[in-house]
């Protein structure tokens, strides 16, 4: 198949592009390198050294003989995106080209607005481009389990049967997003569902859990292909942060009581799920939802696993409970269904089998690159930074000048 990977220079996108290229598909990457720019903005860097995209793709071609084309541009620019879709003529468009960090979206008004515009407008542009230039294209959109929140009932895969006042219907599962980022993903889901209904597009929404690991079979071929390992408070996941904290002797920073529970999956399962979605496309007019994770853990359970793994490496790992900077339940019920991808043939990799190899050993290897200043959280959900402080001060000065007029 011809497959376009939007956001193919990022964490999930890079692993996916290589995986599908290795299986003989004609892969194109669409990217504007924003993920690298956000590192520059925040003054952070991934624990693993990431090569320029052109160098990564040159090494990939030398190793495999496979060429991955690159189109550089922004999905919020419709003229660019339409031209790209017209040139690529993809059978499948895999959409990773979004700002994917909840903390980033909660820094201040500017970052919240950027996240929503980038994500919602970019996805809307893609829907229009598919309708205009490639209406049979199957859209695979990376969603998030964070759309659902933490309801006190089982989370179904996208839809729930409701009985009310003697009548019943199958409706989208209620959404309780926990950040401006997660809200943007809910808006995406609504827009995709709507366009499938009115235009007959075909789409798969992959509500993904927290991804861990850097290694896939393809990435492991050469160090130049290494993937990201983010551990900072903005883009780093809790498991990555714990592993880095363990190897540098910093107590594991457990937010609040540590009962926050989420779904998790290995990066190898991410690319496996996406391949299954490609090979088993949605029907025209169908908007289907898969919950994409393999296991669920609480923060405290993860901390305990990292402690045990650390002991095997001769590390003494301690825990430190910090006030939770997020607005979230610190103890809650959590049970989400995730059988549809299993039914298609997914064979999961379990964290208990790969924690040392896929995370702790990589953290040990690159611990000289750790910036300890990035460990503690600075973004507070309840008190976003004031990005209008200077403007507000100016307005107050002007008001004072007119006192008594």
Instruction: Cite the active site residues.
Output: 144, 181, 185
* CA distance linking residue 71 with residue 81, whole number of Å: 10
225 φ/ψ angles, rounded to the nearest 5 degrees? -95, 5
Residue partners of 148: CB distance under 8 A and separation at least 6? 155, 173, 174, 175, 176, 207, 336
Pairing verdict, β 252-255 and 202-208: unpaired
47-275-217 Cα angle (round to 5): 45
Residue 175 burial (C-beta neighbours within 10 Å; 0-12, 13-18, 19+): middle
Q: What angle do CA 379, 108, 103 make, to 5 degrees?
A: 40
Residues in the chain, total: 405
> What is the Cα–Cα distance from 287 to 377, expressed in whole angstroms?
37
Q: Are strands 159-164 and 210-212 parallel, antiparallel or unpaired?
A: unpaired
Q: How far apart are CA 121 and CA 119, in angstroms?
A: 6
What is the Cα–Cα distance from 275 to 206, expressed in whole angstroms? 12
Q: How far apart are CA 4 and CA 93, in angstroms?
A: 5
Rounded CA gap, 56 and 333, in Å? Answer: 43
């Amino acid at each position: 198949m011809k497959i376009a990977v939007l956001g193919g220079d990022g964490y999930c996108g890079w692993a996916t592009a290589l995986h599908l290229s290795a299986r003989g598909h004609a892969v194109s990457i669409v990217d504007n390198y924003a993920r690298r720019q956000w590192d520059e903005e925040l003054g952070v860097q991934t624990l693993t050294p990431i090569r320029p995209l052109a160098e990564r793709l040159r090494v990939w071609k030398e190793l495999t003989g496979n060429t991955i084309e690159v189109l550089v541009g922004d999905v919020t620019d419709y003229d660019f995106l339409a031209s790209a879709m017209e040139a690529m003529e993809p059978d499948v468009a895999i959409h990773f080209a979004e700002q994917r960090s909840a903390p980033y979206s909660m820094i201040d008004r500017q970052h919240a607005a950027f996240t929503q515009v980038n994500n919602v407008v970019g996805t809307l542009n893609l829907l229009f481009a598919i309708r205009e230039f490639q209406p049979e294209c199957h859209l695979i959109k990376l969603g998030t389990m964070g759309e659902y929140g933490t309801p006190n009932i089982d989370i179904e895969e996208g839809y729930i049967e409701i009985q009310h006042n003697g009548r019943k219907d199958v409706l989208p599962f209620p959404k309780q997003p926990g950040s401006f980022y997660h809200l943007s993903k809910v808006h995406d889901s609504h827009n995709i569902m709507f366009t499938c209904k009115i235009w007959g597009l075909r789409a798969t929404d992959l509500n993904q859990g927290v991804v861990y690991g850097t290694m896939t079979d393809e990435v492991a071929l050469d160090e130049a292909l290494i993937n990201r390992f983010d551990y900072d408070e903005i883009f780093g996941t809790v498991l990555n942060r714990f592993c880095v904290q363990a190897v540098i002797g910093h107590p594991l920073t457990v937010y609040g009581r540590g009962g926050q529970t989420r779904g998790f999956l290995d990066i190898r399962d991410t690319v496996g799920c996406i391949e299954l979605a490609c090979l088993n496309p949605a029907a025209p007019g169908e908007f289907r939802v898969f919950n994409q994770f393999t296991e669920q853990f609480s923060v405290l359970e993860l901390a305990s696993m990292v402690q045990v793994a650390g002991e095997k490496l001769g590390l003494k790992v301690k825990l430190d409970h910090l006030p939770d900077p997020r607005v979230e339940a610190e103890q809650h019920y959590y049970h989400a269904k995730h059988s549809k991808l299993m039914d298609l043939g997914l064979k999961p990799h379990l964290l208990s089998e790969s924690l040392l190899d896929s995370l702790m050993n990589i953290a040990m290897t690159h611990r000289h690159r750790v910036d300890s200043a990035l460990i503690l959280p600075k973004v507070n959900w309840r008190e976003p930074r004031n990005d209008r402080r200077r403007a507000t001060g100016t307005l107050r000065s002007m008001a004072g000048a007119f006192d008594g007029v």
